Structure 1
């Protein structure tokens, strides 16, 4: 499979031919292009627990020192830990060796600027241009960079979280929480036990060995989490917690084994933050309407932006948001740093439970209840998605009861529901997300727009044939 290059990172499967996968040669080229783009002297490198991580680390570190960069290798580290390490060390950039929620045969490079934040789309375009030129300038033997290994940043990350104003350490300790955690055989199994010990939380870790041999699909969605769900149903825990392989996504499970809902991770943490620090919030275009509702209820303004962590952080800075994130369990709390951080999300969520003295299911019931249906449309190679979106949009432009956004795909907001169509950047599909007060209504809305997409595509094809060949008999 061809390499995937986006604002979220550069990913590919390990093994196979250069150019088709994330081969050692491709890693050298990618790292060289990044080093040339950064224009600095020092870069932090961290990696998740994937089996290919050590191999990729050796190549990345060797290439960076060969470019004359000093490297701080922080070892096994989550993405948010590496982001913080860039800032703490004053480095010029960072590389996180991870493929996030992708399967174990994948790996990749998440690339960070000197603020410890992801590259913008224009940055990625510039980096890709450098990559295609392959005009790299390596250091001579007297100018090689130096390698420093420093594995203290997990603890420094935890200390930073514990010192946040809204993390109620004493309240959490008094509640004596018992939690069950699935860390999917990666770095969460290293850092989360340290966090729980510091908070006085009793815990049981599932899939805690940092081997990279994932026991199940690492994307933290319900179908992949039957093990921890069944464990929670036995009734021994106050809360279930799930993270992905690089610990930036966070999902909760209620004490009775019911999913809290990945969309509601940010809703619950935002409501807690807003109850103490009124202000604005930011989500992306696929975020549940519940985030808007709790923000308005707390006296703030809600803003939506295109999908992608760097887009969310840019909007947060623009509007001065006190909390933000995305719909798949990502929490960004700027008092700590501008990056999705499961440790921050866990600490704030436990603080909320401690202060409100409630069960997880009881907390969930206090929020507006919406259901999101997620579907997709398979695309042919010649499908003109943008033109189809434009036609679909035209069907609703005269309806003043709806709000239309076309900044990233097409989202149509009705009074009591919404639908969002967006072309995937990693697969030949259009994602179709739809939300309503019941799953049946959400599914119906999504299906209606899938049919509308296909009908519009058919009409455009017939129009093109008519234009070229005359009426079709």
Structure 2
């Protein structure tokens, strides 16, 4: 413990934990062994030794994961990349994810990283876009499929894959030391917002090159569309129908128990796109 730090009643500080100056730990909290606590723990239940878990960086929104946290995470991630690198940012449709993504969007340019905001596209599309462009990595922000109070932040490498443990440790070291790279005015990263149509179109172009249409037509497959979590729905339905037309496939819509899009709205969207499909 350093000067000015305060520990509340019934809080547990495990071996090797470091409480930085002027940090306040409110009652009934727990700080893991070896954790470095730089900010006060008021709403959360514990101070963590590491940021990453099996599902990336996760936590309760505005409790564990706040806009300030997201900005620092973005700065830490940017700090391990060369200045001038490009990072793609993606999210789901929930406003919670938008808030956290904007925090990351603020942190990356401060470390001299250019941001390509690809808005809201399905996760496989985001991974493909990162792998096939100049991006050095990417970030995807979404709410947990089992608890919408929980936000999941996934960080990718230049191949669109989850970063390895070594990279996770580098980010954590910068984050907990608060040793962020702050660049001069002329080196602050740019933020470019890309359209969903362009990003998904890039994916569609790659899909077209990879598929043997003639073989698929002969097999007469069915195309299954899962619209419960597709982002954004209109673009994905459009391309699904184009693929179905080219492949001469019938479309089956998979309806999950919990739907974010009313069935009648889906029918209206499908009806609007069908006249645009050509064999």
For Structure 1 versus Structure 2, the TM-score category normalised by the shorter chain is 0.5 to 0.7
Give the superposed CA RMSD: 3.1
Contact 1:50 1:186 in 2 (8 A): no
Q: Residue 61 of structure 2 aligns with which residue? A: 14
Contact 1:99 1:107 in 2 (8 A): yes
Rg larger in structure: 1
Q: Residue 48 of structure 1 aligns with which residue? A: 92
Secondary structure of the 1:89 match is coil
Offset at residue 180 of structure 1 (A) = 5.4
Structure 2: stretches of 5+ with no match in the other structure? 1-43, 264-279
Q: Residue 157 of structure 1 aligns with which residue? A: 203
Offset at residue 29 of structure 1 (A) = 1.5
Bigger RCO of structures 1 and 2 (CA < 8 A, at least 6 apart): 2
Residue 23, structure 1, aligned to residue 66, structure 2: yes
Offset at residue 51 of structure 1 (A) = 2.7
Offset at residue 177 of structure 1 (A) = 5.4
Contact 2:97 2:141 in 1 (8 A): yes
Residue 108, structure 1, aligned to residue 152, structure 2: yes
Q: TM-score, normalised by structure 1?
A: 0.39
Offset at residue 124 of structure 1 (A) = 1.1
Q: Residue 39 of structure 1 aligns with which residue? A: 82
What is the alpha-carbon distance in structure 2 between the residues aligned to residue 193 and residue 206 of structure 1?
13
Aligned length: 208
Contact 1:180 1:204 in 2 (8 A): yes
Structure 1: stretches of 5+ with no match in the other structure? 208-213, 219-227, 229-473
What is the alpha-carbon distance in structure 1 between the residues aligned to residue 76 and residue 231 of structure 2?
27
Contact 1:7 1:120 in 2 (8 A): no
Offset at residue 206 of structure 1 (A) = 6.2
Residue 216, structure 1, aligned to residue 258, structure 2: yes
What is the alpha-carbon distance in structure 1 between the residues aligned to residue 75 and residue 236 of structure 2?
33
Secondary structure of the 1:34 match is helix
Aligned pairs for 1:19-418 (under 5 A) are 21-41=64-84, 42-99=86-143, 101-151=145-195, 152-164=198-210, 167-173=211-217, 181-187=225-231, 189-199=233-243, 200=245, 201-203=249-251, 205=253, 216=258
Q: TM-score, normalised by structure 2?
A: 0.63
